[in-house]
Amino acid sequence: MVAQGFTDQGETKADNLLAGEFPRVSMLVPITGGKYERGTVLGLTGSGKYTICTTAPEAILAETVDASDEDKEAVVYLTGEFNKAALKANAEIDTLIAKLRAKSIFVKENQPY
């Protein structure tokens, strides 16, 4: 029930991607090869575009983007602390943790998703 004079704005769902205060550096980059959700672990293609990661992670996608039909630009995080449960990749996140750490991307398990 909505009180008189007010409008129901719906509901929000908490976004638990960010998991700490380590400085986040972001950058606008070209994305290719599919529809990706916020929190997708990305790697670089040979042409310098970002796509979902399988073995060599470079960044975390900061916003949902659909680059299925054509390349799009989107913001990625190059550093920061992120919630493991919120990350998505074409590999087990556990196998990417050491490689992400080398890029100053830290994976934490401090929040449910």
pTM, two decimals, is 0.85
Q: What is the mean pLDDT of residues 21-33?
A: 96
Domains and CATH numbers, the chain: 26-108 (2.40.300.10)
Q: Alpha helix (H) ranges present in 24-113? A: 93-102
> Encoding tokens for residue 72?
């799009």
- d(CA 80, CA 25) in angstroms, rounded, equals 7
**pLDDT number for residue 5:** 77
Which residues are within 8 A (CB) of 45 and not within 5 positions of it... i.e. 6 or more apart?
Answer: 32, 33, 51
Q: Looking at residue 86, what DSSP letter applies?
A: G
Q: Which of the two residues, 3 and 17, has the higher pLDDT score?
A: 17
Q: What is the mean pLDDT of residues 22-38?
A: 96
Q: What is the mean pLDDT of residues 58-83?
A: 97
Q: Is 35 helix (H, G, I), strand (E, B) or coil?
A: strand
**pLDDT number for residue 110:** 75
Q: What is the mean pLDDT of residues 67-91?
A: 95
- Where does residue 107 rank: exposed (0-12), middle (13-18), buried (19+ CB within 10 A)? buried
Q: What is the mean pLDDT of residues 37-64?
A: 95
